[in-house]
Amino acid sequence: MTYVIAQPCVDLKDKACVDECPVDCIYEGPRKMYINPDECVDCGACEPVCPVEAIFYEDSLPDELSEYATVDREFFAADPSPGGASSVGVAEADHPVVRAEPVRAAG
């Protein structure tokens, strides 16, 4: 069980969470940020700083965002523990659920 980032982050990526995370486990995709479930230590620092309330504890996701329960975990399926987001650039592709979201204009 860990924290996950849901739909409100898509096309917004404020990244306030990245500054707060003490273990550098929030990685960047083209359209959304992703929490690595194996590196996350469940400290909850990210949740209150998210300006759009996109971060939830896995079992507290509202029903309308339930498809995001496994998105972050699946995003890291190929490399479960890359060892720190700051040493990894923006990922090449988002998770299919994110790719399927309609594009939101900035602002």
**Contacts with other proteins, residue ranges (CB under 8 A):** 20, 22-24, 39, 41-45, 47-48, 83, 86-87
Tokens standing for residue 59: 């079992």
Q: Provide the minimum distance between the beta carbon of 95 and other proteins in the complex, in angstroms, as a whole number.
A: 24
CA pair distance 107, 101, nearest whole angstrom: 17
52 vs 57, which CB is nearer to other proteins?
Answer: 57
> Which letter, b or e, does each residue of 15-43 get, where b requires 16 or more Cβ atoms within 10 Å of its Cβ?
eebbebbeeebbbbbebbbbbbbebbeee
Q: Provide the minimum distance between the beta carbon of 51 and other proteins in the complex, in angstroms, as a whole number.
A: 16
Q: Provide the minimum distance between the beta carbon of 65 and other proteins in the complex, in angstroms, as a whole number.
A: 21
* Ordered DSSP codes for 14-46: --HHHHH-TT--EEE-SS-EEE-TTT-----SH
25 vs 98, which CB is nearer to other proteins?
Answer: 25
86 vs 90, which CB is nearer to other proteins?
Answer: 86
Q: Provide the minimum distance between the beta carbon of 72 and other proteins in the complex, in angstroms, as a whole number.
A: 17
